[in-house]
């Protein structure tokens, strides 16, 4: 029941924790499906980062004397299901990599929005330590999104995955 901002804050924290735990299961599958080594590395590195993000949420729950369970993030479930469709698709490996990046960017944007909103609630509720932890994760999610975009677009002296995929 959402009667107070604190109720909403806790619900959003549980949503984020569910999202992160689902992503911890999905990232190894995305890494395995990727053909580009840089993309594989990005997924592997983000898996470790995601584990740390889930741990940060556990710290917040501990401070609140609450457990994170009790909520399933349906949005993440859907985003992961869409990513799994790309994994199952047959075809050009570079095009599949571009599809995996698109799916991962959607996940990052969802997480950025979730962490931003929840951080705002934490500020209003004067949960200073939580604000700092949520801000750190929000920043990491933005960096992951930028990294994926750079892989897709390429650098000044190399083709990105999207450009390579368009020539096939």
Tell me the CA distances in angstroms from 82 to 100, 143, 163, one per residue in order. 10, 22, 22
Are 20 and 57 contacting, i.e. CB atoms less than 8 angstroms apart? yes
Query: Please, what are the averages of pLDDT over each run of 10 residues along the chain (168 residues)?
Result: 95 98 97 94 96 98 94 96 91 91 96 98 98 98 93 62 56
Instruction: Give yes or no for a contact between 16 and 57, defined as CB atoms under 8 angstroms apart.
Output: yes
Domains in the chain, please, with CATH? 5-166 (1.20.1260.10)
41 Cβ contact list (under 8 Å, min separation 6) = none
Contact predicate 59/46, CB 8 Å: no
**pTM > 0.95:** no
At residue 136, the pLDDT reads: 98
pLDDT at 166: 54
């Amino acid at each position: 029941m959402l009667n107070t901002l604190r109720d909403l804050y806790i619900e959003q924290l549980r949503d984020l924790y569910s999202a992160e735990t689902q992503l911890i299961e999905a990232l190894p599958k995305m890494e395995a499906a990727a053909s580009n080594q840089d993309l594989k590395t990005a997924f592997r590195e983000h898996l470790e980062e995601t584990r740390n993000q889930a741990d940060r949420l556990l710290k917040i729950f501990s401070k609140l004397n609450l457990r994170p369970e009790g909520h399933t993030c349906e949005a993440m479930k859907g985003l992961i299901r869409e990513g799994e469709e790309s994994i199952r698709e047959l075809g050009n490996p570079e095009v599949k990599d571009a599809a995996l990046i698109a799916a991962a960017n959607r996940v990052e944007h969802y997480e950025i929005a979730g962490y931003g909103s929840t951080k705002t609630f934490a500020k209003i509720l004067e949960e200073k330590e939580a604000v700092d932890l949520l801000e750190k994760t929000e920043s990491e999610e933005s960096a992951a999104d930028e990294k994926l975009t750079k892989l897709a677009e390429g650098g000044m002296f190399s083709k990105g995955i999207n450009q390579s995929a368009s020539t096939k």
